[in-house]
Amino acid sequence: MREIVFDTETTGLDPLKGDRLVEIGCIELYNHLPTGRHYHVYINPERSMPDEAFRVHGLSAEFLADKPVFASVAEEFATFIGDAPLIAHNATFDIGFINAEFGRLGMPAVVSARVIDTLMLARKKHPNGPNSLDALCARYGVDTSKRTLHGGLLDAQLLADVYLELIGGRQPGLILVTEQEVAAAATVAAAGGVRPILVRPAPLPSRLTEADRAAHAALVGKLSGAIWTSYLEPAESPPA
């Protein structure tokens, strides 16, 4: 299953009052594993940058002046996310801005049914909080040493790690596919194809010894009324 973890930075808190997107960062997961594919863009908001927002993400109007406007990246962004579930922290905020930008261009809105809010997941799992992204990173031991300011792509990377912990944690010992197989599957998915079924080149040899088989047969022979014995193939008669 393909999922997209994403984060945005903006000029403020309310897209209905003229605030705009200035950064989008996305991380692709396939079966809850990062594939290495990501999408990241800085956006010219076509307006000034309030001091309060600048103190959060450090993106100045001067820095963003030569960046593309949302209209010029909307299609590639929509193509990258496709119809995959979208995962964000306090998702109402991020989706509100995405849909406001899509709405200006007459593009379809992201429906709430495909959105997973990690803040809601965290509140259910840790009702006593705190459940900010920083707090969850600290709780789960996710390294935030590179995070001095908020940033779309970096925060999406941190959130991807937090999300995996919230849904049960990634256990490397239980991962039965290689990184190459994950990458290949992601490539097929991105191209709109169907992920091929992975077939083991040769069956694993049985670990049962003849002594094990004999001991099992002896145990079953002592049981009366064992239903499964009626499904066993009869033993071959010895040659006369």
**Which pair of structure tokens corresponds to residue 159?**
């959130």
Q: For residue 2, what are the β-bridge partners? A: 30
Q: Residue 45 has which token pair?
A: 């908001």
Q: Which of 40, 126, 150, 216 is catalytic?
A: 150
Half-sphere exposure (CA, 13 Å, Cβ side) for 180? 1
Complete DSSP assignment for 169-202 = ---GGG--S-HHHHHHHHHHHHTT--PPPP--SS
Instruction: Give the C-alpha separation, 162 to 81, whole Å.
Output: 20
10 DSSP β-pair partners: 21
Does the annotation count 150 as an active-site position?
yes
Edge-to-edge strand list for the sheet holding 86-88: 33-42, 21-30, 2-10, 86-88, 115-117
With 0-12 / 13-18 / 19 or more C-beta atoms within 10 angstroms meaning exposed / middle / buried, residue 89 is: buried
Q: Which residues are catalytic?
A: 150
